[in-house]
Amino acid sequence: MVDEEMRELLKRNLEASKDNNRLLKKIARVYKWQIIFSLIKWGIIIGSAFGLYYFLQPYLETLTGTYSEIRQILPSWPTNNG
């Protein structure tokens, strides 16, 4: 009688262990995909930032050139002091 109970407990323990192992593998797989998609997301964000800078670079250079010209003109601008 005790032998049958022990065998039944071992059988249930084995089933629980298999179920636990299946769940742990599933969690590990989800975690792996989460890391992969996170890296892809950040790659897209950083790549977009560099692409946007590459696209806007001629406009930014024009703006900085205009700004430096304005700064050179302003000190010689005549002011009305009175």
| Residue found by looking up tokens 């009305």 in the block | 80
Report pTM.
Answer: 0.59
| Domain boundaries of the chain, sorted by first residue | 30-56
* pLDDT, tens digit, 9 for 90 and up, residues 5-57: 999 999 999 999 999 999 999 999 999 999 999 999 999 999 999 999 999 99
Alpha-carbon distance values, 4 to 13, 15, 17, 21, 71 (Å): 14, 16, 20, 25, 94
Alpha-carbon distance of 70 to 63, in angstroms, equals: 10
Tokens 């010209």 correspond to 69
Q: Provide the total of helices (H) and of strands (E) in the chain, helices listed first.
A: 1, 0
